[in-house]
Amino acid sequence: GEDVEQSLFLSVREGDSSVINCTYTDSSSTYLYWYKQEPGAGLQLLTYIFSNMDMKQDQRLTVLLNKKDKHLSLRIADTQTGDSAIYFCAESEGSQGNLIFGKGTKLSVKP
Amino acid sequence: EPEVTQTPSHQVTQMGQEVILRCVPISNHLYFYWYRQILGQKVEFLVSFYNNEISEKSEIFDDQFSVERPDGSNFTLKIRSTKLEDSAMYFCASSGGTSGYEQYFGPGTRLTVT
């Protein structure tokens, strides 16, 4: 079945760039998402990309998609302590399809 | 900014009891979802709902589960006879309408079954 994999932990220094990686197995995935979860909170949609795009930039966030390798990444420029959270990669087959999530990457930002 | 709300934030119940988790989706959304996250595990899809009926459900969503949109604003998840393994965070999400297809999540209800 479909699967989404992410590394579990990432630690960076404040001001550095963070790159969180994700791989997925479903070649029919058409929408790929990044969600952020702060402690005790729900899932906040950060950004998304269509499968026919290679890159999307939104302020400090850059999403790169390599469809051939089924690899998605989220780059956070100038990482701040407020970016410390768990970041979930998710994919869906259709515009209203259910989301398949990865386990989440816990980003720790050291001052 | 419109948001999805969920009540209660935490529900403790005894095994075998029925629970109803409530959600108020974003008002002009058309698609509604329930997900759950067992502690330390992935967020898992349970069910999606559109046009007053279930459009898709996962293997987890067995006969113990049901969903309902009893009025124009609420969306509920009922678990008829809770089991210990139902303990999890339950998230409601909604999408569609003028905002497009992105799913917006509520803050979740933590269900603890003892």
Instruction: Look up residue A3 and give its two tokens.
Output: 């699967």
**Best of A34, A43, A51, A91 to mutate (most B CBs within 10 Å, chain B):** A43
Per-residue pLDDT, averaged over A34-58, amounts to 90
Residue B106 clears pLDDT 60, i.e. is over it = yes
Contacts of B42 (CB under 8 A, 6+ apart): A101, A102, A103, A104
Average pLDDT, chain A: 91
Check CB contact of A96 with chain B, cutoff 8 Å: yes
pLDDT reported for residue B68: 95
Q: Which residues of A touch B56 (CB under 8 A)?
A: 97-98
In this prediction, residue B96 has a pLDDT band, given cuts at 50, 70 and 90, of confident
Residue of A nearest to B93 (CA): A43
- Length of chain B, please? 114
Give the mean pLDDT of A25-45: 86
pLDDT one-digit tens code per residue, B15-51? 999 999 999 999 889 899 999 999 988 899 999 999 8
Mean pLDDT score, A5-25? 95
Partners of residue B53 in chain A, C-beta under 8 Å: none
Nearest to B105 among A31, A42, A104 (CB): A42
Give the 3-state secondary structure of residue B83: coil
CB contact under 8 A, B43 and A88: yes
Q: What is the mean pLDDT of residues A27-48?
A: 88
> Do the beta carbons of residue A4 and residue A22 sit within 8 Å?
yes
**Model confidence pLDDT, tens digit, residues A58-103:** 999 999 999 999 999 999 999 999 999 999 999 987 666 789 999 9
Q: Following CA atoms A55, A59, A60, A61 in sequence, which dihedral angle do they give, to the nearest 10 degrees?
A: -30
- Give the mean pLDDT of A24-36: 86
pLDDT tens digits for range B53-71: 999 999 999 999 999 998 8
Q: Do B105 and A43 touch (CB under 8 A)?
A: yes
Hey, what amino acid is at A13? R
Tens digits of per-residue pLDDT, B3-21?
999 999 999 999 999 999 9
The pLDDT value recorded for residue A18 is 97
When computed from its CA atoms, the radius of gyration of chain B, rounded to whole angstroms, is 13
Predicted pLDDT of residue B35: 97
